Amino acid sequence: MNSHLFQGSLLRLTAANPDSSADVDALMRWARDSEYLRLQEGDPAMPRSAARAKEILSNAQDHDGATFILRPLDDERALGFVGLWANWTHGDAWLGIGIGDRADWSKGYGSEALRLALRYAFTELNLHRVSLTVLEGNARAIRAYEKAGFVLEGQARHYSRYDGQWYGEVFMGVLREDWEEKDSSSKIQVPN
Amino acid sequence: MASHLFHGQLIRLAAANADSDTDTWANWARDSEFLRLLDSDPAKPWSRQQTRKDLEEEPKPHAFPFVIRTLADDRLVGFIGLWIPNWNHGDGWVGIGIGHRDDWGKGYGTDALRVLLRYAFTEINLRRVSLGLFAYNPRAQRAYEKAGFVLEGRMRQAHHRDGQRLDELCMGVLREEWEEKNSKIQD
């Protein structure tokens, strides 16, 4: 069995801690950056209150699938999150991910979190596919998704409007077979 | 697409109606034999209040409870449900009861199991369906076998009834077995 599901080489998948003021502060701090919010989701960008941050952290455990807080290997700082929202009947999950502070962008955290999340989706949740949508203009994210194995599946045109310009919504997905072929760590190692 | 998922040949699977079903349902538990065949809790009559509360409650996540009604006269004869303890493994557990003795041995349970397995495999796409029963319930075991379940294990002396230690049986049916048996999904 592969027993290091939560462990990467840069970061760990951990539980959210709604009682930790550090976690609550991190979620509030990320949401002061409207660029983070726009790249993160389609809702109108709004700063987060402490109550809202706490609510998000509390709900992390409480849905079909799993939401993890990303932390470095050697300290408890929250770097971001990755979540899988499963539709069990059809074996699909929607993936959401965010790396909070700009100082942590482009350090490889997102790519590793994606790799860990897909391994979790396919080897622990036993899903058949993982789906996501991303803003057309978010080239950094699209590159990371492609690196993780996602392929472009479609696009909804003129889906979001920011600063007077229309952006499409890009649909991407990865099938279990594609991931297995790409990732040899999917094989369960049975000790001799 | 199979568009009559809830209909069998004798019965249909329906949502409970607390207003009209509570009395019938509560009265089933006057029969201690019914209770002993149903589960391993100490047999106790069911209050109307508790029964009504149970029937009014929204199904819990990952529970698919149905009542069984006759097609002929829309009469409530029992209940059946699927519970999914772990979706990631694609396994569901069945519970079923036909309430009144007059309705036992009429084929209602067998028909309801057939409809429920079709639901389990074609609507919620499970990989297997499991159940447990008591060694002193051969009527149920025959119905389960007819529906496609095979005996998978035996917990020896798990129950104590009337001075005897009796086994609990584990049965299951895999998706492939069910598909082979039902080579065409009946519309």
Token readout for B105 is: 């041995």
Give the chain A residue whose CA is nearest to the CA of B89.
A126
Q: Within 10 A of B145 (CB to CB), how many other CB atoms are there?
A: 13
Q: Please list the residues that pair with A94 across neighbouring strands.
A: A85, A131
pLDDT tens, A98-156? Answer: 999 999 999 999 999 999 999 999 999 999 999 999 999 899 999 999 999 999 999 99
Give the chain B residue whose CA is nearest to the CA of A122.
B88
Q: Inter-chain contact B88–A125, Cβ cutoff 8 Å?
A: yes
Which is nearest to B68 in space by CA: B98, B88, B91? B98
Determine the Cα–Cα distance for residues A174 and A132; give it in Å rounded to an integer. Answer: 9
Residue A17 and residue A57 in contact, taking contact as beta carbons nearer than 8 Å: yes
Q: How far is CA B132 from CA A7, A149, B82, in A?
A: 38, 42, 13
Residue B84 in contact with partner chain A when CB distance is under 8 A: yes
Chain A environment of B87 (Cβ under 8 Å): 64, 86, 88, 125
Nearest to A90 among B61, B89, B125 (CB): B125
Handedness of CA A54, A59, A60, A61 (dihedral sign): positive
Assess whether pLDDT exceeds 90 at residue B70.
yes
- Model's pTM, two decimal places? 0.83
Q: How far is CA A181 from CA A9, A175, B65, in A?
A: 22, 10, 40
Q: Inter-chain contact B87–A90, Cβ cutoff 8 Å?
A: no
Question: ipTM score here?
Answer: 0.72
Beta strands A92-99 and A129-135 are parallel
Determine the Cα–Cα distance for residues B124 and B120; give it in Å rounded to an integer. Answer: 5
**CATH architecture assignment, domain B11-182:** 3-Layer(aba) Sandwich (3.40)
Give the chain B residue whose CA is nearest to the CA of A121.
B88
Domain residue extents for chain B: 11-182
Determine the Cα–Cα distance for residues B13 and B80; give it in Å rounded to an integer. Answer: 8
Token readout for B172 is: 């299951």
Assess whether pLDDT exceeds 80 at residue B183.
no
Q: A interface toward B at CB cutoff 8 Å?
A: 64, 86, 88-91, 124-126
Q: Inter-chain contact B87–A88, Cβ cutoff 8 Å?
A: yes
pLDDT tens, B110-155? Answer: 999 999 999 999 999 999 999 999 999 999 999 999 999 999 999 9
pLDDT tens, B158-178? Answer: 988 888 999 999 999 999 999
Distance from CA of B119 to the nearest CA of A (A): 11
Tokens 């959401």: give the residue.
Answer: A96
CA atoms within 13 A on the CB side of A19: 0
Residue A93 and residue A134 in contact, taking contact as beta carbons nearer than 8 Å: no
Chain B environment of A86 (Cβ under 8 Å): 87
Q: Inter-chain contact B125–A89, Cβ cutoff 8 Å?
A: yes
Q: Inter-chain contact B125–A126, Cβ cutoff 8 Å?
A: no
Give the chain B residue whose CA is nearest to the CA of A123.
B88
pLDDT tens, B29-55? Answer: 999 999 999 998 888 899 999 999 999
Looking at residues B63-87, what average pLDDT do you find? 96
pLDDT tens, A143-163? Answer: 999 999 999 999 999 999 988
B residues 91-150 closer than 8 Å to A (CB): 123-125
pLDDT tens, A27-65? Answer: 999 999 999 998 888 888 889 999 999 999 999 988 888
Instruction: Give the model's pLDDT for residue B186.
Output: 52
Q: Within 10 A of A118 (CB to CB), how many other CB atoms are there?
A: 25
Q: What domains appear along chain A, each with residue ranges and CATH number?
A: 11-186 (3.40.630.30)
Determine the Cα–Cα distance for residues A86 and B86; give it in Å rounded to an integer. Answer: 13
B residues 1-60 closer than 8 Å to A (CB): none
Determine the Cα–Cα distance for residues B143 and A66; give it in Å rounded to an integer. Answer: 39
Residue B90 in contact with partner chain A when CB distance is under 8 A: yes
Instruction: Give the model's pLDDT for residue B60.
Output: 85
